[in-house]
């Protein structure tokens, strides 16, 4: 199966009371690990690509071609979306040109009128091309690839205004943060989530900052309209940890242990396990 948009997979998730995971990719190893687990678990999956990660991989076109070719070589049958994560207005257009199947336009740092105007234009463009569009209201806290958010809580009225533009899915800040959560984190604001859900339903919602949110909060958020959950840092942490252990154990110095295919293998296995666990928690297993 070729790339698909988020529209059908997220609507099914919304109606079925589960969420589809967006796992961010950085390179071939990340992509392969996530696709293999999605196929093994018969789960739909979203490959998230930040503008920084696209630049690291030398451009949107390289990413699109790598992912498309891998769907074929790995004989992937589950629905896979290639989604721009926190795209700028310019980045969104470049990713669309390169063949991404889904776009997040993050206009949350603009005044709301400008966010609405730009989102509206990109909704029209993505509808015309059969792509899906994720919009954002109220910056997500923390820092990701140079995008710094202030940990805002979104205004439900602004969420309604953006949702009414016909976006596929809406990301709204509810106290979630990218990266590790600080020890004094107050948790997700379910009161605000309920208010947002009440006025935006049936538009599915996105929960960013999926790393480190306690399982019970994740399940509760899913029961309140969250149909897509983004995970990035967690895969990076488990990859780094497994790689460090391999080197600390001196395995790179044994035989051909320095071969990147061996050196990176424990990290790849760690990503696979993290993705398996998230898919089980989100309820997307066997939903392809």
Residues lying near ligand 13P in the complex (CB under 6 A) are found at 24, 48, 85-86, 144, 178-179, 208-211, 230-234
Q: Which is nearer to ligand 13P, 131 or 139 (CB)?
A: 139
Q: Residue 130 CA to chain centroid, in angstroms?
A: 19
Using the minimum distance from each CB to ligand 13P, give the nearer residue, 45 or 246: 45
CB of 43 to ligand 13P, least distance (A): 18
User: Between 39 and 234, whose beta carbon lies closer to ligand 13P?
Assistant: 234
Write down the catalytic residue from 85, 145, 215, 259: 85
| Least spacing, CB of residue 17 vs ligand 13P, in Å | 21
Least spacing, CB of residue 184 vs ligand 13P, in Å: 17
Write out the DSSP string of the chain: --B--HHHHHHHHHHHT--EEEEE--SHHHHHHHHHHHHHHT--EEEEEEHHHHHHTT-HHHHHHHHHHHHHHTT--S-EEEEEEEE-HHHHHHHHHHT-SEEEE--TTS-HHHHHHHHHHHHHHHHHHT-EEEEEESPPBEEETTEEE---B--HHHHHHHHTTT-SEEEE-BS-BSSSPPTT-----HHHHHHHHHHHTTS-EEE---TT--HHHHHHHHHTTEEEEEE-HHHHHHHHHHHHHHHHTTGGGSTTTTSHHHHTHHHHHHHHHHHHHHHHHHT-TT--
Q: How far is the CB of 230 from ligand 13P (least distance, A)?
A: 3
Instruction: Confirm if 42 and 287 have CB atoms less than 8 A apart.
Output: yes
> Which residue's CB is nearer to ligand 13P, number 24 or number 119?
24
Nearer to ligand 13P, 156 or 210 (CB): 210
Q: Give yes or no: 85 in active site.
A: yes
- Rounded to a whole number of angstroms, the minimum distance from the CB of residue 187 to ligand 13P is 15
List residues with catalytic annotation.
85
């Amino acid at each position: 199966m070729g790339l698909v948009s988020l529209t059908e997979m997220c609507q099914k998730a919304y109606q079925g009371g589960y969420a589809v995971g967006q796992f961010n990719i950085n390179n071939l190893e990340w992509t392969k690990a996530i696709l293999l687990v999605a196929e093994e678990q018969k789960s739909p999956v979203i490959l998230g690509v930040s503008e920084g990660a696209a630049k690291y991989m030398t451009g949107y076109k390289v990413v699109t071609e790598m992912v498309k070719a891998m769907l074929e070589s790995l004989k992937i049958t589950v629905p896979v979306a290639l989604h721009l994560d926190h795209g700028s207005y310019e980045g969104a257009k470049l990713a669309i040109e390169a063949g991404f199947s889904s776009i997040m336009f993050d206009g949350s740092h603009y005044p709301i009128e400008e966010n609405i105007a730009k989102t509206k234009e990109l909704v029209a463009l993505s509808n015309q091309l059969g792509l899906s569009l994720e919009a954002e209201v109220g910056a997500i806290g923390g820092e990701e690839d140079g995008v710094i958010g202030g940990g805002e809580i979104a205004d439900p009225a602004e969420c309604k205004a953006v949702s009414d533009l016909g976006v596929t899915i809406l990301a709204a800040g509810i106290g979630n943060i990218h990266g590790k959560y600080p020890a004094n984190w107050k948790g997700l604001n379910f009161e605000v989530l309920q208010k947002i859900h009440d006025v935006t339903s049936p538009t599915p919602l996105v929960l960013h900052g999926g790393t480190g949110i306690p399982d019970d909060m994740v399940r509760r958020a899913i029961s309140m309209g969250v149909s897509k959950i983004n995970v990035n840092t967690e895969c990076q942490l488990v990859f780094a940890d497994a790689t460090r252990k391999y080197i600390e154990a001196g395995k790179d110095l044994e035989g051909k242990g320095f071969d990147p295919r061996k050196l990176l293998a424990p990290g790849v296995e760690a990503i696979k396990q993290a993705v398996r666990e998230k898919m089980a928690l989100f309820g997307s297993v066997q939903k392809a």
